[in-house]
Amino acid sequence: MSDDLPDITSPGDGGGALPDDLPPPAGDDIRPDSFVVTTGFLRAGDGPIRLPVAADGTSYTAAEADAAARRFFDLLAGERVLEYDLDDPVDHVRSNGLLLLYSDGVAELFETHLVAMPDDVSARWRDLIAGGTRSEAFGPLTLQERLDERQFDKNLVLGRRQRLVNSVAGVVISAVLVAVAWWAYQEFGVETPRERGALQFQVTDEPADVAALEGGPPEAEPALTAALNETVAILRGGGSVDDRVTTPPFAAYPFPPGSLVASLFQYAGAGHVVLIGPTGFADEVCLRTSVVTSELRPLDTVTHGPCVDPIGREPTIGCAGPTALLLALDIPAGQVDLPEGGTGLADAVRVQLIVDRDDEYEVLTQRATIAVDPASDVRIPRFGGAAGDDLTFDLGSGRVGTCTLTGDLP
């Protein structure tokens, strides 16, 4: 069979050319073999849609069938810009959603090609047209596909009975749940809203003027310790942010993920975060720490280091050294008014190493979130010392850092 298919709209119109000024058809003028789409989503171009048909008695090879189908749907698509251009015509039609244009008129014309195709090729097209399952709407089913009518009726009866049983069971279960909920409400009442955040300090009776000296050497609480090993990287450019999220190489960071570890302490009667890392890290990287609610709404944010765009306030540095840095945080005990409205509690601390001097990335960070269950008995440990004291922070797993108390108090 020749690849040069006749450019006609039905087997009987001879492929004659359409006049330049064709009025839009209406009512009975619209026939399956000659139609114009004038409005709406399916509109594409100003001319009528002319689709090729296969002559009676035509028999395609597989390659000829693919060529005929591709040409048919390319003409059906008209002037639309298609997102995909796939070699397999079935995949091409499916991926570009061209079956949205498939009407009764189109079906009648395409049927002339389907009957000329090899059985396996025709079966793929009929499955696609049927939405993934063969049906009588696109040709008679085989004997193996037909259901026994008596079995079909039996299945309908069983289905009705099962729906009735399910309905009764649903009513019973709903009644039981309502009864249990009412009993629980009467028994326990409404849960009292929390008045304190999850981050709480060890109780101390020390007066404010000696709080920095009392408490002993620092001993980290494992539940309040976390490594900065969560990486977030978004490439620069246009388009959706989701499409630009990537996994950067370790070389993109000044230190590999997990090199920095953070923990919370109470010092001088206030909250602090200590960061342990490679020698000199505090002078080389931008660090940002935020006290946040359970929904990650910031209550206090401090920034330290060479940051291009500092956010929040400059922190008080309580202890500085080659491998450890202690930054003061405002960790409120009770409710805090939020700028966007409502209130929040101090439930977590988020610590970030930010790389903001790489033109390849819009966002490039290492993160860790320190959080505990509000119902737990975990308390932020305290330590003491005088200005000039050298301290050692051991955060476990060999993460040890040293620094010297500056004497600066929050």
- Whether residue 400 is contained in a domain is answered as yes
- Whether residue 171 is contained in a domain is answered as no
**What local confidence, expressed as pLDDT, does residue 71 receive?**
93
Q: Are residues 123 and 268 in the same domain?
A: no
Q: How far is CA 179 from CA 184, 189, 247, in A?
A: 9, 15, 51
- The DSSP bridge pattern shows strands 390-394 and 400-405 to be antiparallel
Q: Are residues 269 and 393 in the same domain?
A: yes
> Using DSSP, how many helices (H) and how many strands (E) does the chain show?
7, 14
User: For residue 214, which amino acid is it?
Assistant: E
Q: Are residues 223 and 361 in the same domain?
A: yes
**What local confidence, expressed as pLDDT, does residue 178 receive?**
85
- Whether residue 197 is contained in a domain is answered as no
- Whether residue 124 is contained in a domain is answered as yes
Q: Are residues 234 and 350 in the same domain?
A: yes
Q: Are residues 254 and 400 in the same domain?
A: yes
Last residue of a domain, one of 120, 145, 170: 145
- Whether residue 17 is contained in a domain is answered as no
The structural domain count of the chain equals 2
- Whether residue 192 is contained in a domain is answered as no
Give me the domain span that covers residue 101: 27-145
The answer to whether 374 touches 194, Cβ cutoff 8 Å, is yes
**What local confidence, expressed as pLDDT, does residue 11 receive?**
41
Q: How far is CA 361 from CA 24, 143, 291, in A?
A: 53, 61, 26
- Whether residue 168 is contained in a domain is answered as no
Q: Are residues 139 and 256 in the same domain?
A: no
**What local confidence, expressed as pLDDT, does residue 159 receive?**
75
pLDDT in tens, the chain (410 residues): 434 433 434 444 433 333 444 444 444 444 444 444 443 344 444 556 789 999 888 899 999 999 999 999 999 988 888 888 899 999 999 999 898 888 888 999 999 999 999 999 999 999 999 875 444 444 444 434 444 445 555 666 777 788 888 888 888 898 888 888 777 666 665 556 777 888 888 776 655 555 577 778 899 999 999 999 999 999 998 888 889 999 988 888 999 999 999 999 999 889 999 999 999 999 999 999 999 998 889 989 999 999 988 888 998 999 999 999 999 999 988 888 888 788 889 899 999 999 988 889 999 999 999 998 888 888 999 998 999 999 999 998 899 999 999 989 88
Q: Are residues 268 and 385 in the same domain?
A: yes
Q: Are residues 88 and 229 in the same domain?
A: no
The answer to whether 228 touches 257, Cβ cutoff 8 Å, is yes
Q: Where are the beta strands (DSSP E) in 179-334?
A: 225-227, 230-235, 261-267, 270-276, 286-292, 298-304, 317-320, 324-329
**Tens of pLDDT, residues 278-298:** 999 999 999 999 999 988 899
**What local confidence, expressed as pLDDT, does residue 342 receive?**
83
Q: Which of 254, 403, 270, 268 is nearest to 326 (CA)?
A: 403
Output the CA torsion 4→10→16→22 (10° steps): -120
Q: Are residues 126 and 219 in the same domain?
A: no
